[in-house]
Amino acid sequence: MKAVALAALLPLLAACATTGGSVTLLPGEPGVNTGAVAVFDPKSGAETGSLTAANTQTALGGKFAARPADPKLYAALTDALPPPVARFTLYFIEGTTRLTAESEPELKKVFAEVGRRAGAEVQITGHTDTVGSEGDNDILSLKRAREIREALIAQGLNPTISRAVGRGERELLAPTPDNTAEPRNRRVEITVR
């Protein structure tokens, strides 16, 4: 994804270099590395410097000098970005598709988050602990994910923007040996983007 984004930016950066523009390194989503931008001299092709800190910029086509970006200049751009991905985790009673009492209120939070986003997509992924066979856990994890999806649809979620999958015991939150009851592994993870 980053390579595609950079490839799309190269013509723009080249145009800026020939017209004396500038390049700015904006921040990424919370918890995501910002990355870096290398700046090259358009005539010699030699690297003149790199931006490695968020909200820094430099002029192109001249001497490299990183400086803080003007926050007003880029406010409109960053305000137009979609909100960061929201993640929710719901936990289940052992061997069932029943939520724990602490997790029940989270469903309303998920639905509210979806309502705040135009064009939202919802990924619901079910998991189990290691008690039982792999096949049974695959079935249980998918049932958990599907039931959460159905509960969200009952609240008004558009079914076309969501999907439910089961991962069984393959992606343990808390690594445990086989046949270990671990409440943190009996979960559904919901990603709203």
The answer on 127 and 101 residing in a single domain is yes
One-letter amino acid of 43: K
Rounded Cα gap, residues 13 and 57, in angstroms:
13
The CATH number given to whatever domain includes residue 129 is 3.30.1330.60
In this structure, the answer to whether residues 54 and 97 fall within a common structural domain is: no
The total of other beta-carbon atoms located within 10 Å of residue 163's CB is 14
pLDDT per position as a tens digit, 33-49: 778 888 877 777 788 88
SS3 54: coil
- Decide: 65 and 48 in contact? Cβ < 8 Å: no
CA distance 19 to 16: 5
Question: Among residues 20, 47, 79, which one ends one of the domains?
Answer: 79
Residue pLDDT, tens place only, 111-146: 999 999 988 999 999 999 999 999 999 999 999 999
13 and 68 housed in the same domain: yes
Nearest by Cα to 68 from 81, 49, 82, 54: 54
Q: CB count, 10 Å around CB of 99?
A: 21
pLDDT of residue 13: 46
Claim to verify: residue 49 and residue 118 sit in the same structural domain: no
Reported in sequence order, the residue ranges of the chain that DSSP labels E, i.e. its strands, are 22-25, 37-40, 47-51, 56-59, 67-68, 86-91, 122-126, 162-166, 187-192
CA–CA gap between residue 131 and residue 113 (Å, rounded): 33
Q: Give the count of domains, the chain.
A: 2
Domain encompassing residue 95: 86-192
Which range is most confident: 15-24, 28-37, 176-185?
176-185
Task: Kindly state whether residues 25 and 92 are assigned to the same domain.
Answer: no
* Whether residue 66 is found in the same domain as residue 135: no
- Looking at residue 74, its pLDDT comes to 67
pLDDT tens per residue, range 73-104: 667 677 777 888 999 999 999 999 999 999 99
Q: Based on the fold, state whether residues 92 and 186 are members of the same structural domain.
A: yes
Task: For residues 152 and 121, state if they share a domain.
Answer: yes
Q: Which residue, 79, 98, 115, sits at the end of a domain? A: 79
